[in-house]
Structure 1
């Protein structure tokens, strides 16, 4: 099914248009460094209206919670939607939080306009603007004696701040006190919103999709999936279009969920590129297809079309884990800023090769790379020996891919016949595959690198990994062809990696 992201309701969007006009001057008064620290990104009009349309609310008394209000465009979009219906609510109340008090003047202007529109429709309207959502919500969540009386909300909408939380920060301590363990503000906000929602209350949130996988977000996934029933997830394919005015590079999703332990049989997944008038493609899949009850990690797969579904089915035909293959994957041991005293621009006596991502070159490591910014060597002595690995054939992957790269996983072979050294150092932004700390056979290495570089693996990986990081834990989650099949593939490939279409054909025919 294909629809339009920017189709508007029958009610005039003058309200949201006026509030959208606040966004640019509001942005200009804010300190860019403070915005970065707070993780502030303002929601564009088209996204706000799309989010509001997802609510099914038909309540007589509507209580809206907007936890990162900005200029108030999200809660205003809900009000606009509610007032477009034939059956109007009797009253609407909004509780809005914005920690940056410079924006409160815009918030009051927004809610003045909302109140005027409600008055014309004969709907009672009230608003309460506050600043610190986390402290407020945490106090209520832990039943603090000094907290205000608990206000249950039946609608919650949020574009939360995107920022990491240090383990020893005051914010982290407050979240822990409310029983929430998370490393990012946006998942902290979502967890608190869930606690403040009525049973069967509705939540719509636009967030990075990084919570869909990875060990750091598992406690949040476990809590959220146990408490909320996800009904729909919308994916923005572009990392930048939805928030292009704010240079947001995370891949964003919009989630719609209801507070109930009843799981839906089916979930709607949709996708668009986020540009103006972009078309939305929808796919209905089973809830089990999105989150398998057999998966202890509770990874959320966003398989948005039948082509991706076929890629997933193909991957799931493979049944071997890395441990089944006798392989391990580890993160490079050399953290360059900690080992700065031992790094050398070029090879010299008593040094060994130091491999960075810049040494990747069409499937093999080319070393040294002279004239670049990165060191090529690290001193070998008693201080650095524990950072090194013995000579051998290793498969390396980049832990971070740039947005310009066509694949998320970039694999390369370190071949000691091309780089002569008894030991080598792998920098911390690389992962390396090994057998009990030793190298692989050349055919196994070639086959493994080819598999990791395939379009098949890339398409599958993107279904649950929405950021540029490729962690060792992600690579351990993958299923692999048998060791014999990988070695046969490696033998077929030989010394030179083929171009992508040829490689994909070899994967299709050689691993089935």
Structure 2
């Protein structure tokens, strides 16, 4: 049965225009992923009330029903509700579900209504709203699309206490509220909700109303929906409504074949640390050694305690285009982009560069510039499959000659002291710490983005000022810094 649905999915993925996919935030679930998601539900009995919101062609519903038919569930009756707003998919969805319709213990309902509007009407107490049952099982591949701050969706969601910026979080939050105590929810969603301020309210809702039971991580960012060129990193998560939080199973596989699946149990305190004020959700890699603390306890200082600030590069090039120059001129100062930095240091100016190398220095641009000095910079974006997420470099003023100011383009984060440079040793010490393998692994636990935001860097903890100065002095004396050398410096804090 699933192979038939899979053929339909592949056909529609190839023949559906990208503008339509974008309009609906629509990406169909591959059969192997759907089967794996359905396998995460614990064995159950009694009556099942099943929800598939954003059902598409019915891949998830079919996977769930196949598991029931295989005897993995012991339901007396199943009531299945499938919501799909794209009416052009209803013939495919009906064809998928009708293959199971001869079972007298199964009731199937397909709704063409907008799930968000229907659910918020019911949850807000609208007397004319169509009623929802308390679902026992929810399987979701929700749409991925940002919600405008003035969208009617934001107002509707707000009426039931949900504040979020993306449809996927709205669908999952509503599913939680529609699920009865003990109900199970399995969803494939972007990892972006695990950190950052925009999803704080959503994380609070998840942690207040559910227990996290299982998280599956794809080691390759692009493989979950590879037929649709989805580059967002996705996870599969199982939640239990009203459950008592215990250890969390973390599993990983390279891709959606699940051939090299490994899983381990982690204490919840390592998923959401008790001192995590922003409620970031950390997702450690599965490890045969179980949990190993990757950052020593001596790393406990905030940037504020160190007297350091971090800011996004203020030069947005398309807004200051009139002042940009391909190469330095008499009235310009250096403008630095990520491609000016590499393991070998700073290369400026770059010849044959598609980006500018300089910006005019005058009264109109002065507010966008920093005084010459030592700075530690971190690129905001890494490539899709890059090994490291955090990549730090030091800006050495000796590279630029006799100039007064520097321009930093918007794709860089800058560590500074009150908009001025850092002491040389502090800049180098910071770079050593930020380039350690342990910090990169720690950062990846809660960040699924290719982006490294200022907020993320502010929320990290750092070694003491004296430690950073000592590391900086050591780094300056080295002819070459290797990854092993920097990791060894961090290891000294555990001795």
Deviation, structure 1 residue 308: 8.7
Q: Contact between 1:90 and 1:124, CA under 8 Å: does it hold in 2?
A: no
Deviation, structure 1 residue 509: 3.7
Q: Aligned in 2, Cα 1:226/1:298: closer, same or farther, shift over 3 Å?
A: same
1:343-354, aligned counterparts within 5 Å? 343-354=324-335
Alignment correspondent of 1:19 = 5
- Distance between the aligned counterparts of 2:165 and 2:438, measured in 1? 31
> Which stretch shifts more, 211-220 or 25-34?
25-34
Q: Aligned in 2, Cα 1:19/1:65: closer, same or farther, shift over 3 Å?
A: same
Alignment correspondent of 2:53 = 67
- Distance between the aligned counterparts of 1:364 and 1:141, measured in 2? 57
The answer to whether structure 1 residue 504 and structure 2 residue 487 are counterparts is: yes
**Among candidates 411, 414, 430, match of residue 429 of structure 1:** 411
- Distance between the aligned counterparts of 1:210 and 1:57, measured in 2? 30
Alignment correspondent of 1:409 = 390
**Among candidates 85, 88, 92, match of residue 106 of structure 1:** 92
**Aligned pairs, number:** 493
**Among candidates 478, 481, 485, match of residue 460 of structure 2:** 478
Q: Contact between 2:294 and 2:442, CA under 8 Å: does it hold in 1?
A: no
Q: Aligned in 2, Cα 1:510/1:316: closer, same or farther, shift over 3 Å?
A: closer
- Distance between the aligned counterparts of 1:395 and 1:253, measured in 2? 32
The answer to whether structure 1 residue 93 and structure 2 residue 79 are counterparts is: yes
Q: Contact between 1:363 and 1:412, CA under 8 Å: does it hold in 2?
A: no
State the superposition RMSD in angstroms.
2.0
Q: Contact between 2:337 and 2:408, CA under 8 Å: does it hold in 1?
A: yes
Q: Contact between 2:300 and 2:462, CA under 8 Å: does it hold in 1?
A: yes
TM-score by length of 1: 0.91
Deviation, structure 1 residue 148: 1.1
- Distance between the aligned counterparts of 1:422 and 1:167, measured in 2? 41
> Which stretch shifts more, 422-431 or 496-505?
496-505
- Distance between the aligned counterparts of 2:310 and 2:292, measured in 1? 24
SS at match of 2:304: coil
SS at match of 1:26: helix
- Distance between the aligned counterparts of 1:87 and 1:277, measured in 2? 22
Q: Contact between 1:263 and 1:287, CA under 8 Å: does it hold in 2?
A: no
Q: Contact between 2:220 and 2:385, CA under 8 Å: does it hold in 1?
A: no
**Among candidates 400, 404, 407, match of residue 419 of structure 1:** 400
Alignment correspondent of 1:38 = 24
Alignment correspondent of 2:449 = 467
Q: Contact between 1:71 and 1:103, CA under 8 Å: does it hold in 2?
A: yes
Deviation, structure 1 residue 403: 2.1
- Distance between the aligned counterparts of 2:191 and 2:73, measured in 1? 35
- Distance between the aligned counterparts of 2:427 and 2:364, measured in 1? 30
Q: Aligned in 2, Cα 1:336/1:307: closer, same or farther, shift over 3 Å?
A: farther
Q: Contact between 2:215 and 2:235, CA under 8 Å: does it hold in 1?
A: yes
Q: Contact between 2:32 and 2:256, CA under 8 Å: does it hold in 1?
A: no
1:328-407, aligned counterparts within 5 Å? 328-362=309-343, 364-407=345-388
Deviation, structure 1 residue 87: 6.6
Alignment correspondent of 1:6 = none
**Among candidates 129, 134, 143, match of residue 147 of structure 1:** 129
1:51-200, aligned counterparts within 5 Å? 51-56=37-42, 58-85=44-71, 88-116=74-102, 119=103, 122-200=104-182
**Among candidates 192, 197, 211, match of residue 210 of structure 1:** 192
Q: Which runs of 5+ in 2 are unaligned?
A: none
SS at match of 1:433: strand
Deviation, structure 1 residue 188: 1.2
